[in-house]
Amino acid sequence: MSDDLHGYFFEELQPGMASTFAKTVTEADISAFAGLSGDFNPVHINEEFARTTMFKGRIAHGMLAAAFISTVLGMKLPGPGCIYVSQALKFKAPVRIGETVTARVEVIATVPEKKFVTLKTTCSVGGKIVVDGEATLMVPSKA
């Protein structure tokens, strides 16, 4: 079981285990993410411009929503101590200011010889998947 300094050990992980993290995206989140990442695309930060796009208004950075997947992986399942190896992402719908994004991860496979775990990763808003993907992580062993 996980604690503040160490998450699940590889041997504790089984297909079907899942965890979530939810956060409502704010104006401050988008501004902070733009500043941190350097991505000042006007579709994210300029309402006047964004109204002229297919989205008819500002949208959050796709990678901001995807970052919530990292929160679940690094803090809950597998949790502290795991290391990202890869992440595939498909952005399926925009996220807007004020919407609550729920990131969910589910163990789908383990690779004992490498201590790798493969997880289905999604983000949803109101039950609709907005980000779909798959991650591989290296997880510490009890041994």
Q: Tell me the backbone φ, ψ of residue 69, rounded to 5 degrees.
A: -65, -45
Give 62: exposed, middle or buried? Use CB within 10 Å, 0-12, 13-18, 19+. Answer: buried
For residue 42, the surrounding DSSP H or E stretch is helix 42-45
| Complete domains list, the chain, with CATH | 10-138 (3.10.129.10)
Residue 3: the pLDDT is: 55
CB 105 within 8 Å of CB 15 = no
**Euclidean distance between CA atoms 31 and 35, whole angstroms:** 6
The more confident residue out of 8 and 143 is 8
Binned at pLDDT 50, 70 and 90, residue 1 comes out as very low
Residue 5: the pLDDT is: 76
Mean pLDDT of 117-134: 98
pLDDT digits (tens, 9 = 90+) for 34-91: 999 999 999 999 999 999 999 999 999 999 999 999 999 999 999 999 999 999 999 9
